[in-house]
Amino acid sequence: MPTQRFAHVLTCVLMLSGLAGCSGSPSLTDHSGVQHTPLAGEPGDLVVVVFSSTDCPIANAMAPDIERASIETTEAGGRFYLVHARTDLPDERTRDHASRYKLSMPVIVDRSHTLVKLLGATVTPEAFVLRIDENGGHTVLYQGSVNNLYGSVGNRRVNVTEHHLRDAIRSAAAEEAVVPSRRTPFGCFIERN
């Protein structure tokens, strides 16, 4: 798949430039100072990455649902990362945001937009459910919205009735196909570097 090939080449370039971990996957530090390589792991590992922003009202409104998705991922044996797609976010603000919104998962600030570019994230919140491959790469099982709280930008519903991300996590954890594998996410644009 051309996109994956490009991502692999990009990873190699990043590795050579020192931005990627020794396995070839980007290595980033979370808000507690712990180092993570979200896209690396054992073959078959389930990894969920949700791009967010501390001041995006759409992403923040979904924080409780994102936290529930994180718990379900961990219970299914997977790893969950919240990634702030901001280049200039101080660690203190990230910690404060995680505390106020009661987020328990590792929170990473993707200051160089490495993960943003590797996965092709466009807005916050945007979720990716991934499976680590035999060759150390990854397969995107689901990409898109967290839930249906927003019908479009500016049009918010009262209730969430469809939990797109959590459904995808359950399907992936049960080794079932994630259908649909893409849903349009509505949110705040990520301004690329």
Partner 1 sequence: MLTLLCCLLANPTAEPDTWSTIAPIVATHCADCHQDTGAAPFPLLCHDDLSRRRRFVAEILRRQLMPPWLPGDGGLPVHDDRSMPEAERTRLISWLEAGAPVGNAAEPPTTITPPEPKALPPGTVTVPLKEPFSIPAETIENEHRHHQDTWTFVMPLENDEPMHVQGVGWSTAAPAAIHTVTLLADDRCRGRNRDDYDPRVGYERDGDLDQDISGSFGALGVGLSRMMLPDGFHWTIPPASDLVVELKYRPVGRELPLRDAVQLVPADPSGSRSVIPVVTGLNRVRLDAGQADYTEEDRFVLPEDFDVVAVLPRGRNECRSMRLTAELPSGEERVLMDIPEWDAHYRRPFVFRNVQSLPAGTTLTSRFTLDNSDANPRNPYDPPEDLRIGRRTGVVCFTLLGAGRSETESQTLMDASKWTMDRRGMKNIPMRTPIPPTPTP
154 binds partner 1 per the rule CB under 8 A: yes
In the list 161, 174, 175, 179, the residue contacting partner 1 (rule: CB under 8 A) is 161
**Radius of gyration of the chain, Cα coordinates, nearest whole angstrom:** 16
Q: Name which of 62 and 169 has its Cβ closer to partner 1.
A: 62
What one-letter code names the amino acid at 146?
Answer: V
Least separation in angstroms between CB 123 and partner 1: 9
Cβ atoms of 181 and 42 within 8 Å: the answer is: no
Minimum CB–partner distance for residue 72 and partner 1 (Å): 17
Closest CA to 21 of 33, 38, 42, 8: 38
Query: Quick one: the chain helix, strand, coil %, rounded to 5?
Result: 30, 25, 45
- The contact mask relative to partner 1 for 79-118 (x = CB under 8 A, - = no) is -------x-x-----------xxx----------------
- In 133-173 the beta strands, taken as DSSP E runs, fall at 138-144, 150-152, 155-156
The residues that touch partner 1, with contacts defined as CB under 8 A, are: 55-57, 60-65, 86, 88, 100-102, 148, 151-162, 188-189, 191
